[in-house]
Amino acid sequence: MTTGRNGRDAGRWLLSLATVALAAVAGCAVADRDAPETGDGSPILIQPARLDMGEVMEGHLAEARLLVRNVSAFPVHIARVEASCGCTTTTLERRDLQPGEFAALTVRVDTRLKRGPVRKTVTVVEAGGARAVATLRLSVRSNPHAAMRDASLFAGRCARCHAEPARGKRDGAAIYAAVCAMCHGQRGRGAYAPAIAGLDADVVRQTLRHGRGRAMPAFARDAGGPLDALQIAAVARWLSALPDGGPGDGALDGSGRVGYKSAP
């Protein structure tokens, strides 16, 4: 065996090559792990599948640009784009994609009446029924100067989530699931807004009738909300009969008010 400078140089070169190869393999593994999932053989995906939009001032329009990509070997047609709520709108550049092609998907979130952490989802559905989902997160900073005179959870696009689902319902649990759970969580355990399970029925009735500031508007129909007196009474009875939500965000503060931390 011959050793010396040439041999040492060759050894260093082989070691460097091996290091690069290992780094490349590791990089591929990370990319595969972090790549957005397309579902079970879905021909489409959204890039990125998860996006942090950062902090947005309340009342301002938050906008993001995503890409919808055809990852199959065949042409696809995008049948529709669904947003998780009425305050989120989408514009798709085009609906027919050849293999490997992509189209820009613009997502806009109306931040009026929102504060704190907000999570939205966008779902793209192709003609065969396959789906791709993207999750967007943002933090809305309270803006005391925002023009909120014409803003209402129960009008325009917001009504689709916060008013219309309660129409015709009489059962307290069903009404709660339709227009309350999205903020207060399943069975009143808290989510964006505090836990309210087990609160006194009179407190719930008064809160639904009169509201508690911008974070909790009045739900009574005579105050512009979606619920009549019988629906309010049904929700109050159902919530008060649930086990206490605990001493966390759902507890009444010293002034007898429920604290709110954010809006959906």
Average pLDDT over residues 205-215: 86
> What are 83-105's pLDDT values in tens digits?
988 789 999 999 999 999 999 99
Peptide bond between residue 48 and the one before it cis (omega within 30 degrees of 0): yes
Average pLDDT on 72-90 reads 92
**With 50 as the cut, is the pLDDT of residue 34 above it?**
no
Q: Where are the domains of the chain?
A: 44-141, 156-240
b/e burial code for range 81-93 (CB count within 10 A of at least 16 → b): bebbbbbbebeee
Q: Which of 18-27, 130-139, 179-188 has the highest mean pLDDT?
A: 130-139
Q: What is the mean pLDDT of residues 46-66?
A: 94
User: Which pLDDT does position 208 carry in this prediction?
Assistant: 95
Q: How high is the pLDDT of residue 219? A: 93
Question: Per residue in 163-202, pLDDT tens?
Answer: 888 899 999 999 999 989 888 888 998 876 789 999 999 9
For residue 197, which phi and psi values (nearest 5 degrees)?
A: -60, 135
Give the C-alpha separation, 221 to 154, whole Å. Answer: 10
Is residue 120 packed enough to be buried (19+ CB in 10 Å), middle (13-18) or exposed (0-12)? buried
Is residue 26 scored above 70 in pLDDT? no
Is the pTM higher than 0.85? The answer reads no
pLDDT at 7 (0 to 100): 45
Mean pLDDT of all residues in 247-260: 38
- pLDDT higher than 80, residue 214: no
Lowest mean pLDDT among 9-13, 123-127, 150-154: 9-13
Task: Supply the pLDDT for residue 151.
Answer: 57
Q: Residue 66: is its pLDDT beyond 70? A: yes
Largest CA distance in the chain: 96
The span from the CA of 70 to the CA of 112, in Å, is: 34
For the cut 80, the answer to whether the pLDDT of residue 155 exceeds it is no
* Mean pLDDT value across the chain: 78
Strands 131-141 and 50-57: parallel
Amino acid found at 157: R
Find out if CATH 1.10.760.10 is the number for domain 156-240. yes
What CATH code would you report for 44-141? 2.60.40.10
